[in-house]
Structure 1
Amino acid sequence: MATTDLRTEIKEFLSSRRARITPDQARLPAYGGNRRVKGLRREEVALLAGVSVDYYVRMERGSLAGTSDGVLDALATALQLDEAERDHLFRLARRSRTPGGARRRRAAVTVRPALRRVLDALTDAPAWICNGRYDVLAMNHLARALYSPVLADVRRPANTARFVYLDPEAAEAFFVDYDRIASDVAAKLRLEAGRDPHDEELIALVGELSTRSELFRHRWASQDVRLHRSGHKRVHHPVVGRLDLDVESMELPVEPGLLLNVYTAPAGTASADGLALLASWAADQEELATETRALG
């Protein structure tokens, strides 16, 4: 990210999206069995998008400055982009139109006391607030217990991307679906890079992960992007065992760039019982810490 210019970023994104679509998926005839390119040819994308081949070639070479929203929309449809990829394409185009790029309002680096009280009021569900770089900015009591493996690193703020890629043994033991989590983290970081290419801390994080993790370099090079969305997360907690949790990830309108993440489990399930056991364990740990401080 620190060394890739915008034109190269556009070229790599469009060519990677083109390469993943077969003529059959695009409902185009595949003449001959010996195609020299992976996926669609440039002329096939141009046909699907309703533009000339020369015009599409200019776009794929990194020139989106004069491209209208209508053409971008047609291109996104031709390349079968999902919501996150379409958003990323339009952001790349906007950056092309404004040399230097309009700077995004920087996300808050601290969490307001009122938001911390909201977290603490959620006593039965792990809840935490992070930014687009995966920095953990605030957690309630149960989230600290749930994410104790992530918090084992003394570096602050704790960062789940670093945990996933720089402590892979612990991360694989914690996340049941480690491979999917690793893909999601890299894809969400790339989307964030498209949203705020001037974020020096994000540039530094991507540089650190790229330098120290071959897996991250591979996932970053895939050009995949993904939105923070609700879903499911399966973890294996070192104390209470397997937990299958529903995740709600919500952007905070009054704090642009911050996300509230809340984990729950349906009542009567083993995971709900596990969360209750985790809460009891966390309370015991807090009581023990209090007694230790008092003795000291």
Structure 2
Amino acid sequence: MDNQNDLGQFLASRRAKLNLEQAGLPDFGGRRRVPGLRREEVALLAGMSSEYYKRMERGNGKGVSESVIEGISRALQLDSAEHSHLQDLIRSANVSNRPQSVRRTPRAQITPAVQQTIDAMSSVPVFVQNGRLDAVATNTLGRALFSPMFDGATEPVNAARFVFLDPRAQSFYQDWESNTRQIVALLRAEVGRSPYDRHLSDLIGELSTRSDLFSKLWAAHDVREHRAGLKSIHHPIVGDLELTYLGMDLTSDRGLQMLAFSAEPGTASADGLQLLANLTLAQDPKSHAFKSTGNNLRLEK
């Protein structure tokens, strides 16, 4: 992955989203050759010289201070995820010639204590993933909830591969198009954090080659955080579920995030989730290999 090129393309994509009115600048008319703001206008809003800003859009992040980052973030009206991504891109561009100093590969497994904790959450589906969106761990109900993702998948099971390459994802996620954008934005953010992760680079290459939609969304340079939200899914056993989720970083396992799902009490989704929990707990609760076969549930040891 080209860190310097990513920095320039990200900045260009953000200023293309802003018009003069949104930026609070006067419009004197005339034909504009580029969408959004010009580089000179961003520099003016950020309080820096246009040459300095142009240098950054050419991928040169050398010597960029926090105050400069704040100025650009303010000028481009970046949200918190975009601001963090800009910081990551500048950091990686500054050390692009020394990749060994920032190389970081998220752990492939969780500690036994964390697995024991999520196993104890028998009524809450739990899904632990790394920045590449590999499924690092689940509890039994979490695996049951996302059974289509696991059934027939090769290791490592990956949410991005499922969403873009598995036809079942379009019926599993009722808001599939929204999920495609979310997946790409999460991977974009991870590229900024872990620019020298070879497995991440391979995943991006695979998805870009095999999915035209992924390539199109990847070119937009959108980023986001995965903290809270709503998942609307059609489970093959219990039907439609509207679930909220919370994402929590695991301090004991750096680079991993735990997603916990729940349904509003008294709703059909709560009843469906409880039914799924009853079906899984009626069998071996220590098993982590959930399978769905037709209308029956079975747990494989």
Give the TM-score normalised by the residue count of structure 2. 0.91
Does residue 59 of structure 1 match 2:38? no
Secondary structure of the residue aligned to 1:242 is strand
Tell me, yes or no, if the aligned pair for 2:42 and 2:76 is still in contact at 8 Å: yes
* Amino acid in the other structure paired with 1:153: G
Paired residue for 1:16, among 9, 13, 18?
13
Once the two structures are overlaid, the 10-residue window that deviates more, 84-93 or 276-285, is: 276-285
> Amino acid of the residue matched to residue 109 of structure 1?
A
Task: Tell me how far apart the structure 2 counterparts of residues 21 and 119 of structure 1 sit (CA, whole Å).
Answer: 43
Q: How does 1:216-255 map to 2 (within 5 A)?
A: 216-255=214-253
Question: Structure 1: which 5+ residue stretches go unaligned?
Answer: none
Structure 1 equivalent of residue 73 of structure 2 = 76
The question of 1:46 aligning with 2:43 is answered yes
Q: Structure 1 residue 105: deviation in Å? A: 4.2
The answer for the alignment partner of 2:139 in structure 1 is 140
Q: CA offset at residue 88 of structure 1?
A: 1.0
Ranges in structure 2 where 5+ consecutive residues have no aligned partner:
286-296
Q: What is the alpha-carbon distance in structure 1 between the residues aligned to residue 213 and residue 283 of structure 2? A: 35
Is 1:28 equivalent to 2:21 in the alignment?
no
* Structure 1 residue ranges, 4+ long, deviating more than 6 angstroms after superposition: none
Alignment of 1:57-206 (within 5 A): 57-98=54-95, 99-101=97-99, 102-167=101-166, 169-206=167-204
Structure 1 pair 27–88 and aligned structure 2 pair: CA distance change class (3 A): same
CA distance in 2, matches of 1:65, 1:80: 22
CA root-mean-square deviation: 1.8
Question: Quick one: which of 256, 260, 267 aligns to 1:258?
Answer: 256
Larger mean CA deviation between 17-26 and 46-55 belongs to 46-55
3-state SS of paired residue (2:24): coil
The one-letter code sitting in structure 2 at the alignment partner of 1:219 is L
C-alpha separation between the residues in 2 aligned to 1:32 and 1:71? 30
Q: Would the aligned equivalents of 1:84 and 1:225 in 2 still touch at CA under 8 Å?
A: yes
Give the Å deviation of 1:6.
Answer: 2.2
Percent identity between the aligned chains? 47
CA displacement, residues 235-256 of structure 1 (integer Å, 9 cap, x when unaligned): 1111111111110110001211
Contact 2:111–2:253 (Cα < 8 Å) also in 1 = no
Partner in structure 2 of residue 275 of structure 1:
273
Query: 1:29-73 CA deviation, whole Å, 9 max, x = no partner?
Result: 122153221000111111101111111111111111122211111
8 A Cα contact 2:185 2:222, kept in partner? yes
- Aligned residues of 1:244 and 1:271 also touching (Cα < 8 A): yes
